[in-house]
Structure 1
Amino acid sequence: MTARHTPEDLAAANGRTIEDVIAPDLAVLFCGINPGLLSALTGHHFARPGNRFWPTLHRSGFTPHQLAPADQEHLLTWHLGITNVVARATAGAAELRPDEYRTGGEVLRAKVEQFRPRWLAVVGIGAYRIAFDAPKAVVGRQDRMVGETGLWVLPNPSGLNAHYNLDSLAATYGELREAVGSAGPAGPAGSVAS
């Protein structure tokens, strides 16, 4: 991030939404919890400097080099995309209400049915549990599907998630990368970085 943003700039981004990075028939549609204020201000997913999403994607083999948030549209080259469970930006996910997760889950399922990614990867176990009414879900491949789309839950890459360091995030995301590289729920994985 080269520009400096004031606290007033960030506060003004509260409640904004950002565009999905999405196209039909992706290999994986990654789904964040909701945009942070810096993401809403810049229009780039996972924009906070301490967020480990972009280095994790590279280290786990999804991208051939590490992208910056401003490069997010390049994900489509590798048949990857990004959306969120809840569209509105907040300073933190703790500001979201359970009904927002449930409504967001309905919107997300409709989006998945429209765009038909092979996998939907929700990055945040708590968000997945509420949005998909699966209180006992654990990280990893889920037994259920949305249409022909397989579901996977990944750890939240936020720097605030102390349960996972960058290496363990990359290993966990790598399990999904391996599944994408083999026959997935909707057939061969297609083109992702190798």
Structure 2
Amino acid sequence: MKKYFILYKPFLLFLSTFFLTYIVLTFLYQQFLNGFEENKIDSFTRMVSDNTEQVIQLFNQQSYIEESTTHPYTKLFFNSKYVARIVEGCNAISVIILFISFVVSFSGKLKTTLLFILGGSLIIYVLNVLRISVLSALIFYFPKYEPFLHEVLFPLYIYGVVFMLWLIWVRNFSRYASKDTK
């Protein structure tokens, strides 16, 4: 049994680091969410909503958000028509936690790791705001495709970005990065 632990040590170390980081960050985020009243929007979701409104208004002045008075979400209006809600799950924090967990489990030098986590999280955040903005416009113009857009196309987009960031990290910056100078 001991030889298997030695043989699979890198894989087991990756798994334990990944899950430990994921569990700790998820716990901390849940504690943060628990600090808000039952029907109040958390500050991350509020910030995503505000930034989405700013992006949409660059292209369409009749678009805006409105906070629900009875539920924890904002209503998104495009061309003055209610097209979507922005809920806590739309703020990409869970995606960022997944991204950070992977990077930490393949960590490299501390400074490089922290800078990549910061830069990657910022990229995910900005692309998520753009995702919500484009999704709301597409739902306005193509409402019958809303399930496909929301449940298939845009999750592929955001998780595809995360996957590409992971590839960049592993191939160029992690402790497993190739040291070849070909």
TM-score, normalization: structure 2? Answer: 0.29
Higher strand proportion = 1
Structure having the larger proportion of residues in helix: 2
Q: Which has the higher contact order (CA 8 A, sep 6+)?
A: 1
